[in-house]
């Protein structure tokens, strides 16, 4: 059996040694252990703060929280009752089974509206989250189906906390991509053009790149992870830095220096989904070296 269902999570094992754990709360991928094509020893690739709450009392500080239907604090008139990053990351999803092939083990989770969600966002929808584990890859797909009687607008994003030393890691290629910096006061924010190809987070970063290339390389000290995406035109690069990181209540001491968030999403503007239509946002993270 490649998938073990525990009370609060799924534990998925690949015959070639990689593994992943998915909390039903938020469908949050909590762990992804994978070797590389050169060294097959599985290594944890995601950061989860040791002080994160995993009991469903708040979104998990780490792993891969799913952001839907709004990114950050709501800005769309239909989203005003929602909390930061929406409800997908703090709702309990249902396990909907798995499939396996010689190369992949794939699990599905689903979420539909509940009375509590309906009071915040009175739309009818069906979400399916598909997590596919390969020998050196982890893919996540979010399927959004509009089962309402009218179109609705949403944003979606995978809030990947990649385990990496913030002082050394870079994300590329981002040269000539326009971005805005969420660390700047809202009224002073303006779009800027990124001049560097490989962007570091030596200074605190909360940069939202729009219409980026949908293929990113995250690199440090000979480690290389690739992220390729589909239908997720934007990417956010976030690291809180030392000062702000110390103020995040569920961040372990010094945790700011153990992660970089590289977050593919559709977050500049809103995707309008017609009645009965389905939108799929996809990412694959691959371990390339070490
Ligand atoms: O995606 C970046 C971001 O929106 C940052 O602004 C930062 O606040 C981060 O997400 C974490 O948000 P959270 O609600 O999980 O504390």
Joined tokens for residue 183: 């660390």
β-strand 205-209 against 199-200: which pairing, if any? unpaired
pTM of the model: 0.98
Residue 53 backbone zone (phi > 0: left; psi -120 to 50: alpha; other: beta): beta
Among the atoms of ligand 1, which is closest to the Cα of residue 59? Answer: 15
Do residues 236 and 261 touch, judged by C-beta distance below 8 A? yes
**Cβ neighbour number for residue 169 with a 10 Å cutoff:** 25
**Cβ neighbour number for residue 19 with a 10 Å cutoff:** 17
Tens-place pLDDT, residues 192-234: 999 999 999 999 999 999 999 999 999 999 999 999 999 999 9
Report how far ligand 1's centroid is from the alpha carbon of 190 (Å): 19
Cα 101 from Cα 5, distance rounded (Å): 19
Cα 148 from Cα 199, distance rounded (Å): 41
Q: Which residue has the tokens 């569920």?
A: 250
> Under CATH, what is the fold of the domain 3-168+201-288?
Beta-galactosidase; Chain A, domain 5 (2.70.98)
**Cβ neighbour number for residue 18 with a 10 Å cutoff:** 24
Cα 269 from Cα 73, distance rounded (Å): 14
- Which residues line the pocket of ligand 1, CB cutoff 6 A? 59, 72, 84-85, 159, 182, 206, 236, 238, 261, 263
Instruction: Kindly tell me if the per-residue pLDDT of 126 is higher than 80.
Output: yes
3-state secondary structure of 69: coil
Cα 147 from Cα 267, distance rounded (Å): 22
Note the ipTM here.
Answer: 0.98
Tens-place pLDDT, residues 140-189: 999 999 999 999 999 999 999 999 999 999 999 999 999 999 998 888 88
What is the domain partition of the chain in residue ranges? 3-168+201-288
Letter string b/e over residues 105-140, b meaning 16 or more CB atoms within 10 A of that residue's CB? bbbbbbbebeeebeebbebebebbbbbbbbbbbbbb
Residue from 66, 159, 246 whose mutation best tests the ligand 1 pocket (most atoms within 8 A of CB): 159
């Amino acid at each position: 059996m490649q998938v073990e269902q525990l009370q609060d999570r799924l534990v998925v094992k690949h015959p070639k040694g990689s593994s992943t754990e998915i909390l039903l709360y938020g469908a949050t991928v909590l762990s992804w252990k994978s070797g590389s094509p050169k060294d097959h020893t599985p290594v944890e690739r995601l950061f989860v703060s040791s002080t994160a709450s995993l009991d469903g009392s708040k979104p998990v500080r780490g792993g891969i929280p799913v952001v839907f239907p709004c990114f950050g604090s709501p800005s769309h008139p239909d989203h005003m009752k929602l909390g930061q990053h929406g409800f997908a990351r703090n709702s309990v999803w249902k396990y909907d089974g798995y499939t396996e092939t010689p190369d992949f083990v794939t699990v599905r989770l689903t979420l539909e509206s509940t009375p509590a969600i309906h009071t915040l966002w009175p739309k009818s929808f069906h979400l399916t989250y598909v997590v596919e584990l390969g020998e050196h890859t982890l893919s996540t797909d979010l399927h959004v189906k509009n089962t309402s009687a009218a179109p609705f607008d949403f944003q979606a994003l995978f809030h990947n906390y990649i385990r990496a030393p913030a002082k050394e890691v870079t994300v590329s290629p981002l040269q000539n991509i326009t971005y805005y910096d969420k660390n700047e006061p809202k009224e002073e924010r303006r779009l800027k053009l990124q001049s560097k190809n490989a962007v570091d987070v030596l200074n605190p970063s909360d940069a939202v790149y729009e219409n980026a290339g949908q293929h990113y390389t995250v690199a440090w000290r000979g480690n290389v992870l690739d992220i390729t995406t589909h239908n997720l035109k934007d990417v956010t690069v976030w690291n809180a830095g030392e000062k702000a990181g110390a103020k995040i209540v569920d961040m372990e001491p010094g945790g700011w220096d153990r992660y970089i968030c590289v977050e593919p999403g559709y977050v500049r503007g809103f995707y309008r989904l017609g009645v009965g239509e389905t939108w799929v946002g996809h990412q694959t993270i691959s371990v390339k070296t070490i």
